[in-house]
Amino acid sequence: MDGITVAKRIRQKDEVVQFIYVSSYDTYCKEILEVEPFRFLDKPIDTDKFEEIFMKVCERITDVNRCFVCQFGGANYRIPYKDIMYFQSEKREIHVYTKEAKVRYYGKMNEVQAQVDRVSRFLSL
């Protein structure tokens, strides 16, 4: 199986995985774009360029894997920020809405804000 086919199969199961293609052939560029690679590197590899790209993809992966942490009824929750649509405060409860579920816990919205400040995709109103 070639690298593009492998990437297509992986992408079907995981939309977040990051690909860095290394090749000496530019002819595959259109096919490669279908799997949304992070970057494409030409052979021979420039080690400085590879290190720069590798560090950038590590930052992206770390950001994607960050989770909002809360606790309710003795259960601990780790909700990936990428899955959170919005937060709602109702009396003493915070409701965390994702596409698939709603998690609730006791807390205050200013505590939520403090926890998510480093995640720029959220907007405070």
Domains of the chain: 3-64 (no CATH), 67-116 (2.40.50.1020)
**3-class DSSP state of 42:** strand
Question: How many angstroms separate the Cα of 31 from the Cα of each of 13, 35, 37, 47, 108?
Answer: 18, 8, 10, 25, 48
Q: What is the mean pLDDT of residues 100-123?
A: 81
H/E segment holding residue 85 = strand 84-90
96 backbone φψ class: left, alpha, beta (φ>0; ψ -120 to 50): beta
H/E segment holding residue 95 = strand 93-98
Mean pLDDT of the chain: 85
How big is the CA angle at 73 (ends 69 and 78), to the nearest 5 degrees? Answer: 20
pLDDT at 33: 86
Residue with tokens 């086919």, as numbered in its chain:
5
In the predicted model, is pLDDT for residue 124 greater than 60? no
pLDDT at 6: 92
pLDDT at 113: 85
Question: How many angstroms separate the Cα of 92 from the Cα of each of 106, 110, 111, 115?
Answer: 6, 12, 12, 17
**Burial grade of 44 (CB within 10 A; 0-12, 13-18, 19 or more):** exposed
pLDDT at 94: 95
In the predicted model, is pLDDT for residue 119 greater than 90? no
Q: Could you read off the pLDDT of 48-96 as tens digits, one per residue?
A: 999 999 998 888 777 666 788 889 988 899 898 888 999 999 999 999 9
pTM listed for this prediction: 0.53
Q: What is the mean pLDDT of residues 92-108?
A: 94
